Structure 1
């Protein structure tokens, strides 16, 4: 007989009936009963006995696992500050698929010394619900070579962000590294000085080599040797594993099925959602697949136009050479981001053409899945979501671009506390609402090595945790093949309408079925050498550089018409369309003849063709990355203290001037979601600095300072590529040495107050 303590209170505030832990729904009102199994971190948890209910809420199930028996209640008000121990969890929320998030603090502890984490514990709906997932070491030997390399690749990708928060030592303890199918999940974060190195990681990985699959064993031996010798950085380690995964991916056969459906819903008069492939279609392919969901922002006039405009632009991603296995991930990620910015610019242009201001401006969210070989790329802006469903669980992949998420990301608040704010659900970015220089699309990459579903949906379905509620009864059967994809999306739309009903509902289901055969030939050790693989990557890119020069009419030049329930007669539009096309052609020819320089410098203001996705970078990119060299076309000021910029504090004594034609290198980047990213720039040299340059404020060679990215971009004459060197890339006339306000060392991106 189950202990009375293991009873759950119904989260329905009008019911609050007590239910058995094994019940999925409240036996009195039918409300879904979420099971929150949490991992307790802190020595204080040892003060309690297994089976004890702590603070009349948290049931201690095992030594460190507790169950929240009142999941519908807000967290108890406690005077618990965000400390150095807590902050890394919050700031690493973009990696929450692998890094556990803080659920709250254990009540009744005066010093708030016990954290409750959303840790790697089997989810409800699985036979082992409430138990810890296995360690990587326990699951290693039975895994395929593709999965073994996939696990190491995920760890390598986590190395840099965890190092920046001082918790990279978490990756060295194999008891903390858990796995759920193909996914790596950390049990908790650990800070243990001194800061570990890649060589330390290599020593840990050597423990796994003897039990690795034969096809990758020697490759891993050589890889670990390079790590121990200090020959690999975090980036080069990830690149080497990427190359190995690419080769192993050739031994995999994939089948992709996409099914889409959108519905206006029971309370809305117009459907502002849009999807690709078109609603109501189910397609099966072994070729690269693309699925998109956009949700026109509610309350914004013309949201349906914005969402369709985004779909029309983004579906052109299919022009990319996705079939070429040597198209590298960095290039593809950049191209996906570029397409998003093109869509953003086109919606902005339509808004400007129609003189829309404030809430009259149309906008849309975006979530897109692009399959390429053995990988799936998820691109996201706004609060439409992507979920990843496997046989062992359902995971939300995207992080909503709203106020609550921003507060957590900046380290200000726990997520559940941030949700209590009045404006917590307000979006901080969407397509069409601001300039592309302030847009930060997220692109994530996942290795396909098990049967799974990627679910894209608008908030008409995802609100109130409906996906988490129904994944095991609707989506898990689709993963197993016992429910057809079209039937699954129909059922999901019905759930959105009947259980939520407040908004349009759109669903795109991408089912991936994979079959992998172990290679008979060991992985080539030459993949660890950059030149051989990079040559093939460059050849693949060059062969497709002119592939996408097809004309694509610019939808942003059309007048927005709010669509009625029934489509108008297309025959009436034919003369108008023909006349419009003729006028655009004549007008475009005249502009090209008389204003060639204007057309060249502003290609996205009114484009008549979709820019080639693999064309050379534009002189002024939408965002800059660390290592980029830039030449400025006018004098700029750099600030010594980035916090002065973030808080809008003017400190003229800390400013230094960089002259016109100065060449600078981006050496650091600091996120500031309210004002845009901050860049740390190193002054390398200047080409013919002006004679009247203010000597009392000039900057010394090699010195650094900070500036808002949005303020730098308009002043860039051109970019000069990427470099690891800190020397001037061209012959110049150097500035004379003088006293500068930037002589003192600058704070690193991760020091100083950020609150």
Structure 2
């Protein structure tokens, strides 16, 4: 219905006074008035000034204002299936907007309202005191879109142009997994907020005639070459050529080329980094369970080449020894990170090392719990948020609900996603965030350091490339609760960028705000201030693709907000559903094999056990049958559950990710009853897990075969299947087929002559195997050299870009 005057209701439950839209604080209680402007999807049409469901005010076409920002959604229905990708891509914020609410309509498609869309407001109606962009209208309270990437492209620096391309490349896998990669091809949807790429909304692949491919991406980017910086124009030409010619066949390789270019251009960037830390017990706590590194009260300045480490830990509330856990974590992480050869590690290897450092810290706390016989609520634990600045990169790691925020002159963004129940509900597609907040356990943690073994811990590691003045705030929930950071960032943190407030003063003010406006917890803050001059030295000219030195262990590096590994409570099916659709560069998994010297003893024991098992089967068949059919309960771990006294390694099943290379060491040709066959397509399985013999196979896989995993898929019976490529077989003249010295000392058993012996697979064959069938037969030989591993990895060859460079098409 049309209304005469816009009134914004105070979010304070004890106040709820209506206020004019251009007020920043409630005129009665001085509570901040959040101005939440939302982007609308769907078929409901309305005119500016019209109010929907007595709450959402239409400001202009497709832009609404929530006039009751203190109220949660009253919609408890499930989000329409078409819009579930928004929920499952929640870790990618602020790249991807999130569902704020939705309104059903009997006559049209539902109206979906998105928050964190690339919108900004000028004038007093904005919660910001600054004009977000020079293209903004000067009219009071005007709501605008951030500029399109193509509009800002010609004026951007070489580093920023590469940064934008790098973010788009990193978005390819997660968007493809949700079948929304078409979003990267719509110029109007690609918006930029300084150096940050933001999507206005998602475009579904099904709406296009053909699903998008990397070839299409190369053709799109080739239209940007003409207006690219001359410093990177040649590089971009060759990069587009590699995509179009299918020599760059996956997004991971594309990302590595962009990383190499960023490293060359970033070397010339001058920057100054200053950090500050401060922690306080708070007005109501008996002790401070928070901790930080460097020590509280530190203010330090670093030049461009120096690595910078900052850590904030929050001991788990209600658990004994939270202060011990937080200090243990910081001590362990500091030692591990300082021992790393940071200048010599590629981004992927450094990401893996940081995950290892977090796992080591977790296990030290967990072992301390076990030694002191702490169980259930007595176990100590801690959350973690950590920043590591190295050159032009900033790595942000977190576990739990301690947060990191990114503040620029344009806005403030939360760049970590809490490991709590509400966020898990969103990631799994069960409900949107403001709906999930209404659960009684919404804020309960699903993981923290020290509560169990590292095999069940999934830290998030993300990488950013700051290219302008900015501040990163790392803090415990003593400050971030109740949206305090969103409330005060412009008054307390924005002045840092203007030089009117120093870091020490800002830290003290933030701690005071946490104590005064929250007041029920310890408060810890860490600030990282980047000063990057607008005038930079001229970078080198990149006229071709830089040489790559790929790491031995490869995995996609996720962009801002994207976790490096799944949440602790995600199921295997959920991880499979979000796996990349394209194959990535293979990696080799090396589990520790059994020593050959005890093989005869093991064989003898196996024979005795087999005879004993046969005797038991004859005497007690009914008892065995009953045990075989008894269901095994599946337990879901929770915070506070007593972990095992020893940490167990991650199961091999979790290592069989896309891009993994494994070797078969047990084969049906060597005595197993069921042949391991390579199938042309996923098929049903027998109760024993073996493929049905009626299915025509591509051949039997012999011992010693190296297999590269290209894809994972679940069939209608929820059985997991692996799409694999045969890298090499013992029949071929490959180094992988040669026995190790230990194997040569053990005589192979004589095989009976079998004229009906099935055909064997050949190198290059591509087919499918049930994961359950493959897992028991995998052990990787540790004697393979890097060159031998490379031979298998090169089954997906690194491109050497050759041939003429295509003429770039003019930009639209």
> Pairwise mapping of residues 326-345 of structure 1 onto structure 2 (< 5 A)?
327-345=345-363
Asked if the contact 1:214/1:522 (under 8 Å) is kept, the reply is no
Structure 2 residue aligned with 1:310:
329
Structure 1 residue aligned with 2:452:
434
Query: How far off its partner does 1:82 sit?
Result: 3.3
Work out the CA distance in 2 between the residues paired with 1:380 and 1:207: 38
Asked if the contact 1:628/1:719 (under 8 Å) is kept, the reply is no
Query: How far off its partner does 1:707 sit?
Result: 5.8
Asked if the contact 2:191/2:198 (under 8 Å) is kept, the reply is yes
CA deviation vs aligned residue, 1:176-197 (integer Å, no higher than 9, x gap): 0000011000000011332111
Query: How far off its partner does 1:479 sit?
Result: 2.1
- Which of the pair has more CA radius of gyration? 2
- 2:74 is paired with a residue whose SS is coil
Asked if the contact 1:102/1:117 (under 8 Å) is kept, the reply is yes
Structure 2 residue aligned with 1:127:
131
Query: How far off its partner does 1:525 sit?
Result: 3.2
Structure 2 residue aligned with 1:17:
17
Structure 2 residue aligned with 1:279:
296
TM-score (norm 2): 0.70
Structure 2 residue aligned with 1:301:
320
Query: How far off its partner does 1:80 sit?
Result: 4.6
- 1:489 is paired with a residue whose SS is helix
Work out the CA distance in 2 between the residues paired with 1:10 and 1:708: 60
- 1:219 is paired with a residue whose SS is helix
1:622 to 1:228, Cα distance in 2 relative to 1, 3 A: closer
TM-score (norm 1): 0.75
- 1:231 is paired with a residue whose SS is coil
Query: How far off its partner does 1:472 sit?
Result: 0.3
Number of positions where the alignment pairs a residue of Structure 1 with one of Structure 2: 627
CA deviation vs aligned residue, 1:621-680 (integer Å, no higher than 9, x gap): 995643223458899999x9xxxxxxxxx9945467999999765545699xxxxx9895
Query: How far off its partner does 1:319 sit?
Result: 2.6
Query: How far off its partner does 1:206 sit?
Result: 2.4
Structure 1 residue aligned with 2:30:
30
Structure 2 residue aligned with 1:197:
213
Query: How far off its partner does 1:619 sit?
Result: 12
1:175 to 1:691, Cα distance in 2 relative to 1, 3 A: farther
Are 1:261 and 2:293 an aligned pair?
A: no
Aligned residue among 633, 652, 659 for 1:627: 659
Query: How far off its partner does 1:362 sit?
Result: 1.1
Structure 2 residue aligned with 1:541:
none
Structure 2 residue aligned with 1:563:
none
1:439 to 1:678, Cα distance in 2 relative to 1, 3 A: farther
Work out the CA distance in 1 between the residues paired with 2:365 and 2:94: 32
- 1:215 is paired with a residue whose SS is coil
1:728 to 1:328, Cα distance in 2 relative to 1, 3 A: closer
- 2:549 is paired with a residue whose SS is helix
Aligned residue among 341, 349, 359 for 1:321: 341
Structure 2 residue aligned with 1:351:
369
1:215 to 1:434, Cα distance in 2 relative to 1, 3 A: same
Query: How far off its partner does 1:516 sit?
Result: 5.6
CA deviation vs aligned residue, 1:288-324 (integer Å, no higher than 9, x gap): 10000011111111111111000001112123233x2
1:149 to 1:727, Cα distance in 2 relative to 1, 3 A: closer
Asked if the contact 1:489/1:507 (under 8 Å) is kept, the reply is yes
Asked if the contact 1:454/1:509 (under 8 Å) is kept, the reply is yes
Structure 2 residue aligned with 1:175:
188
1:343 to 1:660, Cα distance in 2 relative to 1, 3 A: farther
1:209 to 1:660, Cα distance in 2 relative to 1, 3 A: closer
- 1:115 is paired with a residue whose SS is strand
Aligned residue among 493, 515, 518 for 1:500: 518
> Pairwise mapping of residues 719-738 of structure 1 onto structure 2 (< 5 A)?
none
1:653 to 1:71, Cα distance in 2 relative to 1, 3 A: farther
Structure 2 residue aligned with 1:68:
66
Work out the CA distance in 2 between the residues paired with 1:633 and 1:305: 46
Aligned residue among 511, 530, 534 for 2:549: 534
Asked if the contact 1:5/1:59 (under 8 Å) is kept, the reply is no
Work out the CA distance in 2 between the residues paired with 1:410 and 1:202: 32
Structure 1 residue aligned with 2:239:
223
Structure 2 residue aligned with 1:77:
75
- 2:223 is paired with a residue whose SS is helix
1:241 to 1:122, Cα distance in 2 relative to 1, 3 A: same
Query: How far off its partner does 1:327 sit?
Result: 2.8
> Pairwise mapping of residues 382-531 of structure 1 onto structure 2 (< 5 A)?
382-515=400-533, 517=535, 520=538, 522-526=540-544, 528-530=545-547
Aligned residue among 295, 304, 307 for 1:288: 307
Query: How far off its partner does 1:175 sit?
Result: 0.7
Work out the CA distance in 1 between the residues paired with 2:713 and 2:472: 31
CA RMSD of superposed structures (Å): 3.9
CA deviation vs aligned residue, 1:522-565 (integer Å, no higher than 9, x gap): 53334x254xx428x89xxxxxxxxxxxxxxxxxxxxxxxxxxx
Asked if the contact 1:620/1:719 (under 8 Å) is kept, the reply is no
Are 1:146 and 2:159 an aligned pair?
A: yes
Work out the CA distance in 1 between the residues paired with 2:316 and 2:449: 9
Greater RCO structure (CA 8 Å; 6+ sep): 2
Structure 2 residue aligned with 1:738:
none
Work out the CA distance in 2 between the residues paired with 1:183 and 1:669: 32
Query: How far off its partner does 1:145 sit?
Result: 1.1
> Pairwise mapping of residues 77-96 of structure 1 onto structure 2 (< 5 A)?
77=75, 79-83=77-81, 85-96=82-93
Asked if the contact 2:664/2:780 (under 8 Å) is kept, the reply is yes
Query: How far off its partner does 1:681 sit?
Result: 7.8
- 1:35 is paired with a residue whose SS is coil
CA deviation vs aligned residue, 1:263-295 (integer Å, no higher than 9, x gap): 111111111111000001111111110000011
Deviates more, 1:269-278 or 1:194-203: 194-203
CA deviation vs aligned residue, 1:463-500 (integer Å, no higher than 9, x gap): 00100100000010012221000100110000000000
1:477 to 1:501, Cα distance in 2 relative to 1, 3 A: same
- 1:278 is paired with a residue whose SS is coil
1:493 to 1:632, Cα distance in 2 relative to 1, 3 A: farther
Structure 2 residue aligned with 1:57:
55
Asked if the contact 1:632/1:717 (under 8 Å) is kept, the reply is no
Work out the CA distance in 2 between the residues paired with 1:513 and 1:606: 46
Aligned residue among 178, 201, 205 for 1:165: 178
Asked if the contact 2:261/2:546 (under 8 Å) is kept, the reply is no
Structure 2 residue aligned with 1:213:
229
Asked if the contact 1:253/1:516 (under 8 Å) is kept, the reply is no
Structure 2 residue aligned with 1:41:
41
1:499 to 1:108, Cα distance in 2 relative to 1, 3 A: farther
CA deviation vs aligned residue, 1:35-86 (integer Å, no higher than 9, x gap): 11010112x23x2111111111111111111001111112122545431x21
Work out the CA distance in 2 between the residues paired with 1:476 and 1:678: 50
1:109 to 1:370, Cα distance in 2 relative to 1, 3 A: farther
1:678 to 1:256, Cα distance in 2 relative to 1, 3 A: farther
Query: How far off its partner does 1:202 sit?
Result: 2.0
> Pairwise mapping of residues 91-110 of structure 1 onto structure 2 (< 5 A)?
91-106=88-103, 108=105
Structure 2 residue aligned with 1:240:
257
Query: How far off its partner does 1:158 sit?
Result: 0.5
Asked if the contact 1:631/1:718 (under 8 Å) is kept, the reply is no
1:370 to 1:679, Cα distance in 2 relative to 1, 3 A: farther
Query: How far off its partner does 1:691 sit?
Result: 10
- 1:383 is paired with a residue whose SS is coil
CA deviation vs aligned residue, 1:598-618 (integer Å, no higher than 9, x gap): xxxxxxx999xxxxxxxxx99
